[in-house]
Amino acid sequence: MLRTTGLTKRFGGITATDDVGFELDDELTSLIGPNGAGKTTFFNLLTGVLQPTEGTVEFRRDGEWVDITDAGPPETAQLGIHRSFQITNVFPTSTVLENVRIAAQAHSDDSLQFWRNVNAFDEHFEEAHAILDRVGLDGKAEVPAENLSHGEKRQLEVGIALAGDPDVLLLDEPNAGVSSENVGDIKALIEDVASDHAVLLVEHNMDIVMDVSDRIVVLNQGAVIADDVPENIRGDPDVQEAYLGGYEAGDLQKQRAKRAGDGTEGETA
């Protein structure tokens, strides 16, 4: 559905992604790696935010692979590749419903028409309500987005990404900043959207990654060092050395929580 060949991005003398060969099928694949491994850069290359130094990005459409390496964000979104962001990215003063309706309209064929059909507006509202019901926010439809809890804003972001019925969802740390009591809700939402979409997930909560993933790809210093099912990734010595540091998933989370409590944990990707 989505693949890269030899994908490389250099910033001066720094290689952020290094000859990445990757293919996403109709599954939930998690992309993990230590801070600075190149995960966000890879997402930006897939969605046209950045152009690669070398290599290609292709999208399978109607059974044929199409080169989308030079496509920008609007083009990749119209093709059906949508993403959520690491940092909450909503219209704060618009209602929850309006946030999703605007996204639905932006991805529709009538998005560039000045005089829009009233029926099209009705369809966008219907789609938005259906999406809000799916992400658990239909009861907050008329609430300004700025009044949502952080966890609810993350749910809204997933809803915005669902607008327009994409084929591929790229979810960039949907649990970032979410309180422990809401993590289960986001996990359930990830599993739900993966039931009918191809999903590429960046997530630092290793317990969630191990539980929800069909497959895990591990980046280190911009290169893929492992690509396997969760049970094999857990025991891979290269992954333990580069990412897990020898810890099991639960131990890693305890270490991250301690660093966060000490105020020593930063976030780069």
Q: How far is CA 155 from the centre of its chain?
A: 12
For the chain, what are the domain ranges? 1-80+166-269, 91-165
The pair of three-digit structure tokens given for residue 78, joined into one six-digit string: 């119209």
DSSP E strands in 25-83: the ranges are 28-32, 54-61, 64-67, 81-83
> Strand order in 14-24's β-sheet?
14-24, 2-11, 54-61, 64-67
Residue (of 235, 178, 238, 236) closest to 208 by Cα position: 178
Q: Per residue of the chain (269 residues), what is the pLDDT tens digit?
A: 999 999 999 999 999 999 999 999 999 999 999 888 999 999 999 999 999 999 999 999 888 999 999 999 999 999 999 998 766 778 999 999 999 999 998 877 654 454 455 445 578 899 999 999 999 999 999 999 999 999 999 999 999 999 988 999 999 999 988 888 889 999 999 999 999 999 999 998 999 999 999 999 999 999 999 999 999 998 899 888 886 554 444 444 454 454 455 544 444 45
Considering the entire predicted model, what is its pTM? 0.83
Distance CA 147, CA 103 (A): 19
- The CATH architecture of the domain made up of 1-80+166-269 is 3-Layer(aba) Sandwich (3.40)
User: E strand or H helix at 152, and its extent?
Assistant: helix 150-162
